[in-house]
């Protein structure tokens, strides 16, 4: 997997999976521009500090991004233990706003990878709702729609990961057909990262114990990085609009 000559932007780069993706991307020859609200703690080719929950802050930094972006990896996110409005703004609305703002900098053959989750696997049950949210055309319009159709705190993380999968699928067709830009999502299962404890709190011990008996172990963050970067490579040039599980087979046991 050769990424030489590619410029890759990675959000959520300062910890967890985002950091491991950045390390592997640079090892494979890419120039990596990191994005995070916290200072970077690893070697990068550039760093942009942004609060992705704030569209004004995003707009103020767009001019700092490279004029050519070969791949955008949206790894930033907050857990469901955070306030549901923050989850909506970071995990969906801010991600979408940044992505749409950078598309004009992406050449033919570029790739976008959005981090969903195994917890978004029930998106078909709410697909019509998610399609209506995806049809909103701005951060503010999305917020207004969510104000009219509020999401429960208890399931907000799952809801917005579902919504992200649906938006990725819907948006991918036009991007690929009109611009030759590929958009996909990935759905990791449990991963050993600093926020793993938040997921235990969010899901409850009963669900965690049930899943623990069906899987070998949580993933290591570097085990997620390879499949993500494959989707950014030229080897995946005909892969668009998919949601790729990276979960050690956990989703399969629920069939």
Distances, alpha carbon 110 to alpha carbons 160, 195, 202, in Å: 25, 30, 35
- Give the whole-angstrom CA distance, residue 48 versus residue 119: 29
What is 89-158 written as a DSSP string? IIIIIIHHHHHHHHGGG--TT-EEEEE--GGGTTGGGGHHHHHHHHT--SHHHHHHHHHHSPPPGGGHHH
Selecting among 92, 157, 159, 254, the annotated active-site residue is 157
Is 254 known to be catalytic? no
Q: Is the dihedral of CA 84, 90, 95, 101 positive or negative?
A: positive
Tell me which residues are annotated as active site: 157
């Amino acid at each position: 997997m050769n990424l030489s000559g590619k410029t890759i932007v990675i959000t959520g780069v300062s910890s967890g999976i985002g950091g491991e993706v950045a390390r592997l991307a640079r090892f494979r020859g890419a120039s990596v521009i990191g994005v995070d609200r916290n200072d970077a703690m690893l070697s990068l080719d550039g760093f942009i500090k942004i609060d992705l929950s704030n569209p004004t802050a995003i707009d103020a930094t767009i001019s700092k991004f490279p004029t050519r972006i070969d791949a955008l990896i949206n790894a930033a996110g907050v857990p469901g233990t955070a306030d549901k409005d923050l989850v909506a703004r970071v995990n969906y609305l801010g991600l979408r706003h940044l992505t749409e703002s950078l598309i004009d900098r992406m050449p033919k053959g570029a790739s976008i990878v959005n981090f969903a989750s195994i917890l978004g696997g029930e998106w078909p049950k709410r697909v019509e709702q998610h399609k209506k949210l995806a049809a909103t055309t701005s951060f503010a319009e999305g917020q207004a729609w969510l104000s009219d159709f509020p999401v429960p705190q208890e399931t907000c993380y799952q809801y917005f990961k579902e919504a992200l999968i649906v938006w990725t699928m819907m948006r991918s067709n036009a991007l690929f057909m009109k611009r030759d830009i590929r958009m996909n999502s990935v759905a990791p299962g449990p991963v050993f990262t600093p926020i793993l404890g938040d997921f235990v709190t969010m899901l409850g011990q009963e669900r965690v114990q049930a899943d623990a008996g069906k899987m070998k172990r949580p993933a290591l963050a570097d085990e997620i990085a390879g499949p993500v970067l494959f989707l950014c490579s030229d080897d995946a040039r005909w892969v668009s609009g998919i949601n790729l599980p990276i979960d050690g087979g956990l989703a399969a046991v629920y069939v």
